[in-house]
Every structure is written in structure tokens, then in C-alpha cells.
Amino acid sequence: MESLIIWGAAIGAGILIILIYLRNTNTGYNEAGGAKKEAVRLGADRAIAQHPQIDALACIACGSCIAACPEGDVLGMVQGKATVINGLKCVGHGKCAEACPVGALTVGLGDISGRDDLPKMDIHHQTNLPGVFIAGELGGLALIRNAINQGSEIVDFIAAGQPLPKGDGVFDILIAGAGPAGMSAALKAREKGLSCLVIDQESTGGTILQYPRKKLVMTRPVEIPLFGTLTKPEYSKEELLDLWLNLEDKFRIEVRKKEKLTGLGKSGEAYEVTTDKGMYRAGNIILALGRRGSPRKLGVPGEDLSKVMYKLLDASLHQNEHVMVVGGGDSAIEAAIGLARQKGNHVTLSYRKDQFFRIKKMNQQRLDEQIQTDKIKVIYNSEPVLIGEDFVDLSMTGGTQRLPNNFVYVFAGGEPPFALLRSIGIQFN
């Protein structure tokens, strides 16, 4: 009798454990499975650089990789297996691989044979165009450390190679992009005594400039030319930006800001670089453009005013203001909600379609709350047609209306630099 009770209790406990496991994996399936579908719809599931490769047979569904990811919701559990949900958010830290207790996860580019977004390069990062190199994340590998190393290695290779074309006004190297890869290349060029010019459509710092305020940036030790080793495991966004700006100033690196590369051709032995502001000649070109792309513009008069922005870094800087957010995706909704939570703001959300149909459920709920309490006014079927110092003319059903306005945030997606690369003759995988 006693052994019967023990057996019964053991079987009961076993069934309970199985039920709890099934409930957990089903919940995970429902939540992360939905998130995955949403990410696929938004095109946010595809990683742009190195990302987790999961061996589903080896995965024991412990969730350690999900908990270890510093960027949040890159990974999720779908049908009891770790799965990449928001690949776009992966920056390649590799913490997930370190955390996996059974080695079921590696971080890399995976099978690149089908990747038509990776430019062809040799081991020196030289493209099919001799003297044109690709440094940093544009080549497929993310992380500040990789970008710094590649920028510096490329200049070492250039300096050790063929004599560079010389001539009046011909730079040894023209670098497009002043992120970690471009700046490291420029410092190395200064160290090697090569003449060099950097252009950037934005400013020094690259993607770091786009990080949220006070974001902690993780990096492993890396040698910055003319500076020494970055030794701390974590830096704030602001610390890193200060570092690049100080180096630019100290070593007199010429960075032409707000200047965009638009074309490249050959003239004699040198390359002829076209930008939206002029033309330069250089013996070698380093493309360090990153992969995040340029924000898509509205193309309306007044868009060049400094009050028009494409990324919200700090909502708390806006109080008692009329702010317009343009767009219908999650980024637009999240920005509008963040702005509406600040004291005294009047937030208008302008969207050109008649409903939001691709946003996260949580964002829809939060937005509904803000609409009900009059914190956000949504105007569907509308588009800004003119932006002035203190107003926006919005075309909407029934005509055009002028709204008071202090700031405009535009979230109309991005244009990756691949079309530009193809247009200048760079081949892809």
C-alpha cells in the first residue's frame, strides 16, 4: 500500500512537471511566435550583420541566451526553441553564445551564399575596384571594435602597397563615413603621413550618434591609432563621442560634415569622388558608410529646417511644445507616446494611410490610451506639404490645414547604401 502511494505521488509529480513545461513552451510560442510574425511583416527579423545561429536540435530551451542579450528582444522562444525574432536589433555582442550552456548557439554571418547585400571583398577588404576598400559594418561585421580594427588595417595595407597617385589636389585617401571605421582609418592615415579627407552626411561618430542618450556601449579592448587602447568594457555614448571629437581636433583630421557621397568615377590614375557639395580626387577610397542607411526624407519645402529630425534621442528635451510625428510604424508610435508623456506637449501624429496595421499590440494599446486622454491627436490620410519655422501645413481629407508647430519628427524608414555601391560598380556576393 505504502509503495503504491509513493508511486502515485511520483507519477503525479511527473505529470505536473510535464504540464508546467508544456504551458511554458506554449506561452513562449504564443508570445514570441506572434512577435516573430510581426517582425517578419516589418522586415525587422533579418539581421544585417553577424547574428545568432541556433542549432535547434542541441537547444534545450533554457532561455539563457534570451536573458543574456543586452539589446533586448533579439531572441525569443518559439515552440520550445530559441529563435531569432528581431534580427535587425542584433549588434553582434555574442553574449548569447557565451551564455548558452550546451553550445547550441554561435554568432556569425552564417551562410552568406544567398546574401546579395554583402559586397565582394578580398582579404584586405578591397572591392572589385582596385583601390576602393570597404571598412566596418558595411562589409557585414558589426561592432565598434571590428570597425576600428578594419579601418586601421586597410590604411596599413594602402601605406605598404604601390606608390599612390600624386598630383595637385589629389588626396592619398578619401574616406566616406566618420563612424568608428572611418575615424580609425583617418587617424592611421595621419600616423602614416598620408593625406586624407573624411566626408560624412551627418557628423563624427557614425551610428554612435544615433544611440539613445546615456546608452552604455560595450566593447572589448581595441587599439585606436594615435590614441592607444580602449580598455574599459563599457563606455557611455557621450564618452565615446567626446573621444572621437577630441581626436579629430587634436590630430587635425579634416571631416567635412553634412556632405554626402553620391558617386565615384575614375579620372586617370585617381578616383573622382562626387558629393552633394562638390568633387574630390583621391588615389584610394575607403567606404565606411555603415549599413543603417540614410533616413528617407519627405521631400517637402522646409524639411531642411533644423527643427525637422529623423530620430528621437531624448523626449524629455521637449516640454510645452507643439510636436508633429510623421509615420505609421512602431518607431513613430513609440516617439509620439514618449513625447506625449512630457509635460505640456501637444503631439500630432500624421499618417498617410487610413489606419495603423503593422504595429505592436502593446503600442496600439498605449496609443489608444493617449488618444483617449487627448495627449495625442492622430490625423490619418494626411501628409505635411510645407514646414515653416512655427507651423506645418498638413494636407488631409477636406483640404490643407496649418497647425502650430515647434518640432517635426519624421519616421519614414531608411535607404541602405547598397544602391549607391552598385551604381559605382561595386559587385556583391
Ligand X SMILES: Cc1cc2nc3c(=O)[nH]c(=O)nc-3n(C[C@H](O)[C@H](O)[C@H](O)COP(=O)(O)OP(=O)(O)OC[C@H]3O[C@@H](n4cnc5c(N)ncnc54)[C@H](O)[C@@H]3O)c2cc1C
Site of interaction with ligand X (CB under 6 A)? 91, 136-138, 142-145, 147, 176-182, 199-202, 206-208, 211, 217-219, 260-261, 288-290, 292, 294, 417, 420
Output the nine-digit C-alpha cell for 294: 540614410
Alpha-carbon span 258 to 200, nearest angstrom: 6
> Least distance (Å) from ligand X to the CB of residue 413?
15
Alpha-carbon span 47 to 45, nearest angstrom: 6
Contacts of 107 (CB under 8 A, 6+ apart): 50, 51, 52, 53, 92, 93, 94, 96, 97
Cβ distance to ligand X smaller for residue 54 or 154: 154
Cβ distance to ligand X smaller for residue 181 or 349: 181
Please name every residue paired with 76 in a beta bridge, in sequence order, or none if there are none.
83
Cβ distance to ligand X smaller for residue 78 or 147: 147
> Least distance (Å) from ligand X to the CB of residue 203?
7
Alpha-carbon span 219 to 57, nearest angstrom: 31
Determine the 3-state secondary structure of 61 from DSSP. coil
> Least distance (Å) from ligand X to the CB of residue 311?
11
Backbone angles phi, psi at 257, to 5 degrees: -90, 160
> Least distance (Å) from ligand X to the CB of residue 418?
11
Strand extents, DSSP E, 237-278: 255-257, 261-267, 270-275
Alpha-carbon span 245 to 243, nearest angstrom: 6
Burial class (CB in 10 A: 0-12, 13-18, 19+), 360: middle
Give the containing element (helix H, strand E) for 364: helix 361-372
> Least distance (Å) from ligand X to the CB of residue 83?
21
Cβ distance to ligand X smaller for residue 104 or 208: 208
> 273, 264 in Cβ contact below 8 A?
yes
> Least distance (Å) from ligand X to the CB of residue 387?
22
Give the containing element (helix H, strand E) for 243: helix 237-250
Cβ distance to ligand X smaller for residue 75 or 199: 199
CA distances from 250 to 227, 242, 245, 253 (A): 10, 12, 9, 8
> Least distance (Å) from ligand X to the CB of residue 239?
12
Buried b (16+ CB within 10 A) or exposed e, 297-320: ebebebeeeebbebebeebeebee
> Least distance (Å) from ligand X to the CB of residue 91?
4
Please name every residue paired with 218 in a beta bridge, in sequence order, or none if there are none.
234
> Least distance (Å) from ligand X to the CB of residue 40?
20
